[in-house]
Copies of this chain bind each other. A is one copy, B any other.
Amino acid sequence: MLDLTRAEIEAAVDLDRAFAALEDGFRAASAGRVQMPPVGYLGFPAHNGDCHIKFGHIADDPIFVVKIATGFYDNPAKGLPTTSGMMIALSAETGAVVAILRDEGWLTDLRTALAGAIATRAGMRADARRIGIVGAGTQARFQIRAAAHLLREREPRFAAWARSPERLEALRRDLAKDGIAVEPVADLEALCAQSDALITTTPAVEPVIRDEWIGPGLHITALGADAPGKQELETALVARADIRIADSLEQSLDHGEFAAAAAGGLIGRSDCVELGAVLAGQAPARRSDRDITIADLTGLAVQDIAIARVVLDGITR
């Protein structure tokens, strides 16, 4: 049995292989080849925390994966990271534990970022390169690094907005160390106006992106809404979009960014497509350069399986 620390895991990940594995995973999920039961949930309201347990198996894969991911939102005040957790890979042939991945939540951050870059590349115009990031937390950093890698051939230009100017400046400094220039933008409406694609990474429970700020041709990848009550985009904007892409139709319409519009009867299942179908060429991500396109990513167990496979392949390669 492998027992891997975060440092070993980080060293084992090859980004190009990881992107390919994630795309394969999304295609498998949309094709119905992935066993993904409902996500397990425990709440710890006394400590403003929760735990999500995701598990699944891709048909014919020799391993399956169980992921435990915690978020305790008062941790930063205690000097501790908000998120934590681990993944366990088991043999789908004998049930034995194959590997413990003590990633402390890093793989979740990474696979979320990879999915964001994949969805953004799929949805944005072919000539687009101006990417606006909304938020300045951990996931904002991960998204910029992932998009910088995946879109490197079109030389993407990054700008970012956050509620706190200090956190925005810290984001700029951190990315500069990685050699990635990020332009801080003080006004969110201005960021919307100057971007070809937006990636929203906030835990907002009230929409931060207003319908009237979004013009023709823009693509938005929304990551924040992963639980009931969370919403980053105005419902009218979701309803107005020309194409809506969800990692999982079921999750997105139930508790993701598309939930409010669905609950209001403005959109239905047939008004959305799945990312895996887009990546398989079965559904278009946009039909014209003037389409407004929105991708909503709620997070799938197949992403965890895919990224765990990349780590294990990286270790044994």
Contact = CB atoms under 8 A, between A and B. Distances in A.
B94 A85 contact: no
A303 interface: no
Interface centre among A40, A41, A100 (most CB of B within 10 A): A40
Given A97-B102, A100-B100, A70 B90 contact: yes
Nearest to A41: B37
Q: By DSSP majority rule, is chain A's interface helix, strand, loop, or mixed?
A: strand
Nearest to A57: B42
Given A83-B95, A94-B80, A96-B80, A68 B71 contact: no
B64 A66 contact: no
A94 B78 contact: yes
A152 B236 CA distance: 71
A178 B56 CA distance: 41
**How many of chain A's residues touch chain B, expressed as a range?**
35 or more
Given A42-B57, A66-B53, A47 B78 contact: no
Contact of A70 (B72, B83, B95): B95
B70 A42 contact: no
A5 B80 CA distance: 28
Contacts of A32: none
Given A55-B42, A64-B42, A88-B68, A49 B97 contact: no
B71 A95 contact: yes
A86 B92 CA distance: 15
Nearest to A100: B100
